[in-house]
Amino acid sequence: MDKQTLQQNGLKKIKDDFTFLLNTFKHMLKSLGEDDIAEAIPEIDKTTQIDTSKISDKKLVQALGISFELLNIAEENAAAQFRRKSENQLGPESIRGSWAETLKECKEKTISDETIAQSLKKVDVMPVLTAHPTEAKRLSVLDLHRELYVLIVKKENPLWSDSEKNDIEKQITGVLERWWRTGEIYLEKPRLADERSNLMHYFKNVFPNVLHVVDQRLKNAWISSGLNPDLMDWPEQFPKLHFGSWVGGDRDGHPFVTPEFTAETLNLHRKSALIVIRERLVNLAQKLSFSKYLNGFSEEFISLIEEQASKLGADGKRALNRNPSEPLRQYVNLLIARLDNTIEGKKFKDIPESYYRNPEELSKQLKTLRQTLIDLNAENVAKQYLFPVERLLDCTGFHLAKLDIRNNSAYHEKAIEQILKESGFEDYAYSSWDETKRMEFINQELENNRPFLNTNASCGLEADNVLGYLKEVKTYVDQYGKSGIGSVIVSMTRSLSDMMIVYLFLREVGLGKSNLMVAPLLETIDDLLAGPEILEQYLNHPLISEKRKKGLLNYQEIMLGYSDSNKDGGILTSRWNIYKAEKSLTNVADKFGVELCFFHGRGGTISRGGGKIHRFLESMPPNSVSGRIKMTVQGETISNQFANKINASYNLEMFVSSTAKQVILGNLKEDKSYLHKTLDTLVNKSRMAYREFLDHPDFIEFF
């Protein structure tokens, strides 16, 4: 069967599934006495005009909204089946953006196994989940979406009896009724805690469960491509995959994100990560029921268990007694006991081994367990059961997701003015200073370590907020290290001073030597054009030069805005200027021997940078993808990409494998610079037409 036939079958399946769901929905409405609403829902392939004048607008909108969501669910299921059939009949490499396609292209370019393996180690990708006002679905409704999707998949099993099929269809009707009675959207603005709860579902329940699926896809593609299997065995050989969040750290236009909420979010991330890891360790212990009488455990390993148990006192004794004669379980029980102390904050005096100060300590112990299994000739057991635990720890650490801290440059200007005024500066009107005066002031201040303010001094709303949330970051870093903190992002970065002023805020709260990443967000067309010069000035600055010399700045993060550049100049102008900015910024960074981590602020629609992620990454300029890459997943698209396991694993695979493809093959791209002048001409005409339309005196009325 060719791809076209598969696609036609896929379209038919969407229509059949959607017809079934829509009819079931209508029957459910009629059973509730909502006959008028049921009749008002349009039927597929029919254009009958229906009188809706006697129907509640609220109910009609809700019914139509649910109908569109049913279509989404039908499409997601059909897409998953299409990919399965394509793999089986056309080969796994037929899936665009997949690991199989990426490795096949590498082999065709005669790139060696070792080179591919080493390149994969350079890959470090991070999807960053954000809240968004257009994601108005309630968390309860998202749960119903997932429940319905599972039932649709379950219904397709051909082995069910007629009575079993009827039972499944009744369950589907029950879900639809609960959905109708729940309501599709928030009728009041979602609270920050609601937005955070939504994201935490993905961090705790989705990503940890699909991570192993994505890794297995890589391993299967690696083996089927004929590459050396020894090069893809253990977590340290796999691409790095981390997760990020903005909810609780993004203050750009979000006044309800208080310092207290930031602190609460950081601690919630940490506790959730520890609990998720604990669950995996408990499951691992259940799988390792190796008898000491049937396996040749070394005396060294037995002694290690006894030594660790003694350091945990009564907890250690209970861990041993729980599984006598099963050393592997005893060993994992001890790890769980130590992790429990970490979760509860219990620290035994003079016994650092009673809790984990960092995830690296647990990782080291898991590697000891791995080597023990290898020594017992149980390498397959290690790969099947231990690997997922090691890999999860490597990806989430003890922080689950890195929290980015973001605010606007104009907000920072107000904050520094309030600080200077409170500190007694006569000329504190920082926002009116030119760039030269700003940098002279910043450079002079960076030469000493004294703060502007006395402890707990209050200056004004903006200053108190900026210093307040950075103080909470300081508290977290002092306790647990900086691994849970992402970047300090400056929205609307338009000059070097917009970045360097952040270092005065960091100094003020005691984070001057923390080496946190300060990242500019280049949003408008003018900002994108100015970006290369700003980056060169930044990397040349004495403070940053010193970091580079000490090896403290191995890469620099730069965020690119898609929505604002589109609003500023239109789609073509936005994309072309982002492309040129990436190329120019990469050239600047290369001069300083610094890799760039581009952070793409993409949204769901085409105007905001949306589209297939593998196509998006293939559009990057040659050699501009270092391997480190971050990308926002806007709130309104999170459920579309990650609501179910199949979709989530597919989208994560596209992200990681397509990044790897650019790392390995990016320098082999065809030179198309001969098209640049043509594109420049098109962009100039496009932007002029766009601005003429936008700046028309009657545009607002028209809009």
Give per-residue pLDDT as tens, 159-200.
Answer: 899 899 999 999 999 999 999 998 766 556 678 888 898 899
pLDDT of residue 349: 58
pLDDT at 44 over 90: no
**Percentage of the chain modeled with pLDDT above 70:** 97
557 φ/ψ angles, rounded to the nearest 5 degrees: -90, 135
The span from the CA of 254 to the CA of 481, in Å, is 27
pLDDT at 137 over 70: no
pLDDT of residue 357: 93
**Percentage of the chain modeled with pLDDT above 90:** 71
Confidence of residue 348 (pLDDT cuts 50, 70, 90): low
Across the chain, mean pLDDT equals: 91
pLDDT at 451 over 60: yes
Region of 492 (left: φ > 0; alpha: ψ -120 to 50; beta: rest) is: left
pLDDT tens sequence across 469-506: 999 999 999 999 999 999 999 999 999 999 999 999 99
3-state secondary structure of 560: strand
What CA–CA distances, in Å, run from 666 to 119, 373, 422, 470, 626? 12, 39, 52, 38, 9
pLDDT of residue 412: 97
- DSSP code per residue over 340-373: HHHHHT---TT-GGGS-SSHHHHHHHHHHHHHHH
pLDDT of residue 351: 73
pLDDT of residue 221: 95
Q: Is the separation of the CB atoms in 362 and 356 below 8 Å?
A: yes
Cα 62 to chain centroid distance, Å, stands at: 31
Closest C-alpha among 598, 597, 503, 497 to residue 554: 597
Q: Higher-confidence residue: 564 or 650?
A: 650
3-state secondary structure of 150: helix
pLDDT of residue 350: 63
Closest C-alpha among 485, 481, 487 to residue 598: 487
pLDDT of residue 674: 86
pLDDT of residue 2: 79
- DSSP code per residue over 488-524: EEEET--SHHHHHHHHHHHHHTT-TTS--EEEEEE-S
Contacts of 161 (CB under 8 A, 6+ apart): none
Confidence of residue 449 (pLDDT cuts 50, 70, 90): confident
pLDDT tens sequence across 62-79: 999 899 999 999 999 999
Closest C-alpha among 531, 240, 247, 585 to residue 403: 247
pLDDT tens sequence across 322-333: 999 999 999 999
Q: Higher-confidence residue: 351 or 30?
A: 30
**pTM confidence score:** 0.93
Q: What is the mean pLDDT of residues 557-567?
A: 88
pLDDT of residue 133: 55
pLDDT of residue 189: 67
Provide the residue count of the chain. 703
The span from the CA of 519 to the CA of 522, in Å, is 10
pLDDT tens sequence across 238-287: 999 999 999 999 998 677 899 999 999 999 999 999 999 999 999 999 99
Contacts of 98 (CB under 8 A, 6+ apart): 92, 217, 221, 653, 654, 657
pLDDT at 135 over 60: no
